[in-house]
């Protein structure tokens, strides 16, 4: 075989290889960034859901009405103790579960006693439906323990426990909003001027 022809074939193959190498490099999958492993995007609600004045007023009014029937001022269901030993990334999941307990064990049973209880229950059920793919990222041991303590207290207090849970719907509303909505992004001074 002619050495010039052999050299031309070799150089053509070499040029083709060099031209395709960058394409192979960019087509390969890149590893995921480690910093995003704790993000749980299925545990996020839009902030505007909580900004609707009508449902906020209904929830707060129902809570205020129920507090008149609450004779027990020592106990509380919804407060910071729920977050004991729970990672911040799991706060929304926890509040979703608390909401389910309140809707299932309280609001669904008190529809006749409180006006707008069914409407507020529907709102909270709607939020839980939006969070249906939300799963805990950390250990569930403390989470389940905190929820079990809340359920036990609700059963122990009986009817007064149900009134108390309804009286804390405004707290549930606020905790759910704080845990499940992303904080608004801060804009710098230069962005505000533009």
pLDDT at position 22, please?
47
Q: pTM of the predicted model, to two decimals?
A: 0.72
Domain spans, the chain: 42-180
Residue 115, CA distances (Å) to 65, 71, 86, 118, 184 in order: 10, 20, 35, 8, 34
> In the chain, which stretches have pLDDT less than 50?
14, 21-38, 184-194
Give the list of residues 6+ apart from residue 29 with CB closer than 8 angstroms, or none.
none
**Domain covering 42-180: architecture:** Up-down Bundle (1.20)
pLDDT at position 35, please?
38
Q: Are 43 and 136 in contact (CB under 8 A)?
A: no
Q: Are 154 and 165 in contact (CB under 8 A)?
A: yes
Write out the two tokens for 84: 């004991």
Contacts 24+ apart (CB under 8 A), 112-115: 114/62, 114/65, 114/66, 114/166, 115/62
Q: Are 99 and 59 in contact (CB under 8 A)?
A: no
Cβ neighbours, 10 Å, residue 89: 14
């Amino acid at each position: 075989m002619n050495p010039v022809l052999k050299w031309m074939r070799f150089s053509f193959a070499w040029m083709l290889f060099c031209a395709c190498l960058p394409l192979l490099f960019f087509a390969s999958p890149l590893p995921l960034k480690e910093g995003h492993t704790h993000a749980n995007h299925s545990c996020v609600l839009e902030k505007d859901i909580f900004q609707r004045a009508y449902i906020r007023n209904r929830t707060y009014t129902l809570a205020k009405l129920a507090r008149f029937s609450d004779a027990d001022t020592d106990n509380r269901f919804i407060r910071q103790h729920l977050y004991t030993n729970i990672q911040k990334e799991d706060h929304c999941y926890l509040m979703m579960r608390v909401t389910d307990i309140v809707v299932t064990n309280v609001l669904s049973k008190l529809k006749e006693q409180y006006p707008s209880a069914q409407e507020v229950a529907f709102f909270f059920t709607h939020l839980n439906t939006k969070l249906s793919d939300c799963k805990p990222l950390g250990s569930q041991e403390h989470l389940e323990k905190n929820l079990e303590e809340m359920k036990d207290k609700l059963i122990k207090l009986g009817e007064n426990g149900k009134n108390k849970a309804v009286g804390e719907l405004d707290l549930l509303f606020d905790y759910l909003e704080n845990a499940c909505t992303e904080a608004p992004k801060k804009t710098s001074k230069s962005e505000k001027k533009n």
